[in-house]
């Protein structure tokens, strides 16, 4: 695939607070349309196949969100992805009000529930 025509693909796991954090970043910055979004339902029959594909691309256990950032090159970790795209587009992520609100107030609560579950 021509790198100039490449559209990053973001794999977002339903119910995942990390996936939501990255999606919120994309929405708030207006970058959402620059990405192909794949919703991954952990109860769907194809979920394990998606995880296996991501694991092969990452060369480690698959986590969410994962983005194919360039043809055949994958990156995971919501904070790393936000930092990568904020840097690429000259965005100061700390100045995004919705993302900051989520990270400072709701995310810690969801993370606790996510870890307890």
* pLDDT given at position 112: 86
- pLDDT at residue number 36: 97
> For the domain that residue 19 is a member of, what is the CATH number?
3.40.30.10
Domain that holds residue 71: 3-116
Rounded to two decimals, the pTM is: 0.92
Q: Per the omega criterion (within 30 degrees of 0), is the bond before 16 cis?
A: no
Full pLDDT tens readout for the chain, 117 residues: 566 789 999 999 999 999 999 999 999 999 999 999 999 999 999 999 999 999 999 999 999 999 999 999 999 999 999 999 999 999 999 999 999 999 999 999 988 887 776
> Given this model, what pLDDT does residue 1 score?
52
What's the domain count of the chain? Answer: 1
């Amino acid at each position: 695939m021509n790198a100039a025509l490449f559209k990053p693909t973001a794999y977002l796991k339903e119910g995942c607070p990390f996936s939501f954090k990255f999606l919120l970043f994309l929405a708030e910055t207006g970058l959402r349309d620059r990405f192909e979004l794949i919703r991954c339902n952990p109860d769907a029959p194809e979920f394990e196949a998606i995880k296996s594909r991501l694991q092969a691309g990452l060369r480690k256990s698959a986590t969410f969100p994962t983005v194919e950032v360039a043809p055949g090159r994958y990156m995971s970790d919501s904070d790393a992805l936000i930092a990568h795209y904020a840097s690429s587009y000259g965005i100061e992520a700390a100045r995004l009000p919705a993302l900051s609100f989520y990270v400072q107030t709701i995310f810690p609560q969801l993370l606790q529930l996510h870890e307890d579950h």
